[in-house]
Amino acid sequence: MADQAPATTPAVTSCGGFGGFGGFGGSGSSSSGAGAAPEGGAPAGGAQGIMGMLFPLAIFILIFYFFIIRPQRKRQKQHDTLIGGITRGDQVITIGGFLGTVREVRDDTFVVEIADGVKVRVLKSAVQTKRATPAPTTEEKKEKE
């Protein structure tokens, strides 16, 4: 066992690169590297690089705001106004497609009559639209007289 040679490991230079592999690991002694300052003393591409990345990001955020967030807020505000204006006797259409008449308004629900004697509780957020009450036809006007 004494005559076995010790295991060899690759030589590592002081700058962390493997010896003999040219460009891997760098040399550390180069004075004209990519990050070196030009003669004026300003860093090469520092401010331009950041602005070059932030400008497209800012444009993306503005587009996202004006095409997605702002219209959604507008729709939500209109829906909140619609829900706030619903009173007893109004006809509503739910997001499930049920058409009914509001019989009772509670804190977060409506009691809606969808058929004679059939009443259901519906969340206020589940009301899609308020149906305009149709104008009475001429036959209905004659019956009232």
pLDDT in the model for residue 7:
61
Q: What are 9's two structure tokens?
A: 């490991």
pLDDT in the model for residue 43:
56
Give me the residue label for tokens 């592999």: 21
Give the CA radius of gyration of the chain. 37
Q: What are 137's two structure tokens?
A: 């036809």
The pLDDT profile of the chain, 145 residues, written as one tens digit per residue, is: 556 656 665 555 555 555 555 555 544 444 444 555 555 555 555 678 888 889 999 999 999 999 999 999 999 999 999 999 999 999 999 999 999 999 999 999 999 999 999 999 999 999 999 998 665 555 655 566 5
Q: How many CA atoms lie within 13 A of 113 on its CB side?
A: 10
pLDDT in the model for residue 45:
59
Residue ranges and CATH numbers for the domains of the chain are 87-133 (2.30.30)
Per-residue three-class SS string for 56-108: HHHHHHHHHHHHHHHHHHHHHHHHHHHHHCCCCCCEEEECCCCEEEEEEECCC
Q: pTM of the entire structure?
A: 0.54
